[in-house]
Structure 1
């Protein structure tokens, strides 16, 4: 059970209702993340606005999903890993084996996507202060300065979602149950 109220169109603060309607129309259901963010209309607006801005980035959908799943895994947000797994499979058409490697924070068979995952982990680990070598490796994979900043944008969006879900302790919606994720146990 979520720690914060999960709002519906009827119970949400007036300022959150248009955003709930938009999310319901886009998803066909109201994700518990959105229902809990409705407690703070500005947080909900920020999430949807930044998400729309992130979708306009030069990074491909697959690359943006690598950022989202990588960040969510690091942040321990099973809800977001599941939600972005659904997008990665259904919309970005990522192969299941590649997706499992992303979820497990393993090396990816696709060199370009692996560069995105490695750079995302470096951005999070260093709070953006990546080494010259990490930035050069990202650029050597075919990315530019704009893409590097778009990874930061994606991490920022993920942080809002991941931390909100972790705070709320949102349960996974039934529509996302098939994509459930638990962190892989690391050998000691």
Structure 2
């Protein structure tokens, strides 16, 4: 059962309405997802989420397939079924097979050693308050990820943790 009201553009706090309207316009359904509709209850929360999404989209160097692998690996660690569902759908849309998505969810090999090394970094960071062992970090470097990539992965980790924790905190209902 949700803890925070789910708003429409019309009944959201006035300060949230322009951003919620923009989100609704880019939604395939023409309305905000429950995630956004609940975040709109606090303009600061909605703006923080939207800002991090915009920054990773504008300045990120990962292609969508890598981004959604990171989001999915982190969502599993956060334990948000809502976020796992969204990340799984977008991972599939961006080229991951059902078997690879299952591997990303389970933390097992996808068959892509480079992706596996990067998702191990974010999984380990999510499980250990941001701490990653030198061995995990070096394995990702040896797989071909630069320090810039490993730093950028933290932005996706942060975005997914922010989103997943909010979903758990608010007890957001799945979209129908």
Fold in common (TM above 0.5): yes
Q: How does 1:16-165 map to 2 (within 5 A)?
A: 16-28=16-28, 29-55=31-57, 56-90=59-93, 92-165=94-167
Give the root-mean-square deviation of aligned CA atoms.
1.3
Distance 1:129 1:104, change over 3 A: closer
Contact 2:78 2:126 in 1 (8 A): no
**CA-CA distance at 1:88 after TM superposition:** 1.3
**CA-CA distance at 1:38 after TM superposition:** 0.5
Distance in 1 (CA, whole Å) between partners of 2:41 and 2:35 is 11
Give the gaps of 5 or more residues in structure 1.
175-188
Of the structure 1 ranges 164-173 and 123-132, higher mean CA displacement relative to structure 2 is found in: 123-132
Give the gaps of 5 or more residues in structure 2.
none
Q: Which runs of 4+ in 1 moved over 4 A?
A: none
Instruction: Give TM-score scaled by structure 2 length.
Output: 0.92
**CA-CA distance at 1:107 after TM superposition:** 2.2
Partner in structure 1 of residue 15 of structure 2: 15
1:14-45 Cα deviation digits (max 9, x unpaired): 11111111211222231111011001101101
**CA-CA distance at 1:151 after TM superposition:** 1.3
**CA-CA distance at 1:170 after TM superposition:** 0.8
Contact 2:65 2:96 in 1 (8 A): yes
Q: SS state of the match for residue 7, structure 1?
A: coil
Instruction: Give TM-score scaled by structure 1 length.
Output: 0.87
Q: SS state of the match for residue 122, structure 1?
A: helix
Contact 2:9 2:17 in 1 (8 A): yes
Contact 1:75 1:163 in 2 (8 A): yes
Q: How does 1:165-176 map to 2 (within 5 A)?
A: 165-174=167-176
1:125-156 Cα deviation digits (max 9, x unpaired): 33233222211111111111111111111111
